[in-house]
Structure 1
């Protein structure tokens, strides 16, 4: 009788494990829903901005805020919400964040003016900050086996990168047939599916001993970042005056205070001591600067294709497909590539390929350049894909195991802040060049084309000058980072992994 029972027990055990694995992979698909939306919404407006500008007529400053307030909200609150999820429950925070993200999307879709759209984009960013760290933590609970967990995290990273890459394409396709609000309404069915399936397939996750969230640190980082960028953008758009200078100084002071405060906290939001490690520093900068370059180039190129060259939005979206495909493929193949050539070679190649790709945009002009845009996205896409794939792994490997969580959180934050900074800083630089090159023009290209079509050629030339200036700055920055990586990163892969501290 015992012999007949044992095979049955074994069969039930295998069936139970199979069901558990099936549940885990379905759970992963559910988790990827909000992850994909958070990353896609960081870029979906790049091709939509000309249409939004026609409908809401935002100023140059408002247009930049519409684009980058989302990224700033996500980046400045990401670590804070990671700590809140550890304390109060990550699945609970994930559900609340998804619901708020849906509400923000609906509000943005029907915003009657630029100010309202900025407010709802900020709400979406706040919700997005709750989703990323909680999603990764819940995913880790689904896959206790380290090998399966590594595969799942790789799929997670690829989905995040793919969202960034195809965001402009999705926006362009929607705008070809529907009003501009459709780029936000597309989020609602995905959020509905997630809210329906998450309670069934996912479990609550909490972490013990995480300490309380330091509210003053959250306020200092978020307010300091916003004031500093406000000052930079207003100075670029309107010239130096008391208000932007005062805002910039106040923002810098608050950020300095934030850094000093972290050093005295038992549970800081950001462990700045990690930056003493050169490998870690290179990894974090590689998370920030390529995202800044990608977002700035995508935003400015989207305007160039539509407003300067006059291409339909769907045509512009299709031109972005080759670069998006290369970026996504590189995210998938980079782990195998790193096994062959090493992280040092991969990180160096990342920066030089991005620099080369950006430089190709210098061939664009008032009457042409669509082909050069495609070539640029393909070449730079190699570097972007490498960056998305190896940054978090390199940052975590550069620190002792007990500090891996803090390193991973900083790596994710660098991606989001980079995405927002690229649009804010390079968009402001391009706006400044536009204003200086065409002093008799309206503040933006869209306004000039609408108000004074007789000066359209001058306005387009001024915009291309701004685009080229931003591209030169970003390209030189990546060349410098490539050289720095060559000098700082050790040749031995073993040197990239420190010994755990006692």
Structure 2
């Protein structure tokens, strides 16, 4: 019955406000793509090890994912616009600290703080968009715009970041966030309405600590196992994280005002869309990280050249996420999602056919196919999550729809990046190469540059072949994972085919 209740349509102010909300959404992916491009320069300048290099990228996403639930709940309590502006100011400050970090450890700390500050942005953006556009059709378009803005950041990030890295030092990549945040602080109070849930009461600091205690040890343990194999420390970390997760779930079930309303996951639409988001971004972020390294370290491109070659794949996400709402008016959203995931699986199979320093067209074509397939999933699954929750739980649903892809993406970079590292080290284990070159391909490139031409060329060829082998393995894993998610979505789609709730997924549009 709630779907038949008339709702007001958004006006000019709401659509202009949506343009403002596109700024933090744009930054969300721009920051990550620029960091991927800057990583070789950071590794060289700060003498970062392979593990430190992964943490420079990963710790941002880990702290962001671990803090999203708490920040979504905080926005419900103090106001989503207020939280967005506080987070924008904090993000700008810690971005400056990251730009001038004197060593790898300081940069990792600064990136961790960026993750906590960044956790205020996406939940506030999605929950404000949901509140500003109560009409389901308009809300679908608004969510598509937010997702397209994320994709636009992926497109322009490599170009702008590559241009900066060609002319300035790696810290300029982090300063990109500052003008975005300043603009948001100026225009946000003028154009964005304030929204909060009047029914919520107090925060739960213990729940916030448990959410972080769940994410960080598990991710750390998985990274260590992928890179170095099982060990007591890594297994103990995973066990500690799982124990904290069990306590977190128990607390959420008994708390008077929980961070996460676990009852929301009883809705099959929401739970399926959340899982699909997490797994789709798991493979997407993992492959984006690997492709950025592939272009610079295997093909020997500059950051700007690598940025130019990665831009086409971002266009695929933009097209997919903007066309998806139109398709969903005629076809059931989960059918569109399943078809897109199948396309992405084909793209990953294409990526397994890359040939080292040859065949750049194969690499770019595979990346474009992957992104074009995942674009519809990102827009529609996000809309299904936020649209499945009641209005007074908009912040909680927005936090879920933000946490799932961020946590999935963080794990994707950690796990798939570590698989590449482990394969690389195993590929060089039997070769007579300098010990320093065995850590990662960036180190091998630096070592080769200091050797005579012939030994340097032989080392570089062996190191690149080992990296490409790991890249092919992660692409095959991603293809298999996407194929499995397609089967899961289709099975759930059939199960819901005759149910009124399943038909409502399309009718409410």
Q: How high is the TM-score relative to the length of structure 1? A: 0.89
Query: Which of 483, 487, 502 is matched with 1:496 structurally?
Result: 502
Alignment partner, residue 446 of structure 1: 442
**Residue in structure 2 matching 1:469, options 473, 477, 495:** 473
Decide whether aligned partners of structure 1 residues 21 and 394 sit closer, same or farther in structure 2, where only a CA change above 3 A counts: closer
Structure 2 counterpart of 1:12: none
Q: 1:95 aligns with which of 82, 85, 92?
A: 85
2:287 aligned to 297, 312, 318, which one? 297
Q: Give me the whole-angstrom Cα distance separating, in 2, the residues matched to 1:371 and 1:22.
A: 43
Question: 2:210 matched to 1:220?
Answer: yes
- In structure 2, the gaps of 5 or more residues are 1-9, 449-455
2:405 is aligned with 1:415: yes
Equivalent position of 1:124 in the other structure = 114
Larger radius of gyration: 1
1:161 aligns with 2:165: no
Alignment counterpart, residue 464 of structure 2, candidates 450, 460, 463: 460
Matched-pair contact (CA < 8 Å) for 2:131–2:391: no
Structure 1 pair 482–140 and aligned structure 2 pair: CA distance change class (3 A): closer
Counterpart position of 2:490:
486
Counterpart Cα distance in 2 of 1:291 and 1:188: 26
Q: Distance in 1 between matches of 2:130 and 2:478?
A: 36
1:265 and 2:255 correspond? yes
Residues in 2 aligned to 1:98 and 1:153: alpha-carbon distance in whole angstroms: 20
Structure 1 residues 62, 383: closer, same or farther in 2, change over 3 A?
A: same
Residue 62 (structure 1) aligned to one of 52, 60, 64: 52
- Residue 464 of structure 1 and its aligned partner are, at CA, apart by 0.9
Counterpart of 1:320 in 2: which secondary structure? helix
- Quick one: distance in 2 between partners of 1:64 and 1:202? 37
1:488–1:146: structure 2 CA closer, same or farther, 3 Å change rule?
closer
Check whether the contact 1:330–1:382 (CA below 8 A) recurs between aligned residues: yes
Contact 1:37-1:163 at 8 Å conserved across structures: yes
Per-residue deviation, 1:479: 0.5
TM-score (norm 2): 0.87
328, 339, 349: which one aligns with 1:359:
349
Aligned to 2:4: none
Which aligned pairs between 1:123-272 and structure 2 lie closer than 5 A?
Answer: 123-139=113-129, 151-272=141-262
Deviating more after overlay: 403-412 vs 199-208 = 403-412
Q: CA separation in 1, counterparts of 2:237 and 2:143?
A: 40
For the residue of structure 2 that corresponds to 1:118, the secondary structure is helix
Alpha-carbon shift at residue 140 of structure 1 (Å): 5.1
Count of equivalent residues? 480
> Secondary structure of the equivalent of 1:364?
coil
Consecutive unaligned residues in structure 1, runs of 5 or more: 1-19
**Structure 2 CA distance for partners of 1:146 and 1:470, relative to 1, 3 Å:** closer
SS at match of 2:119: helix
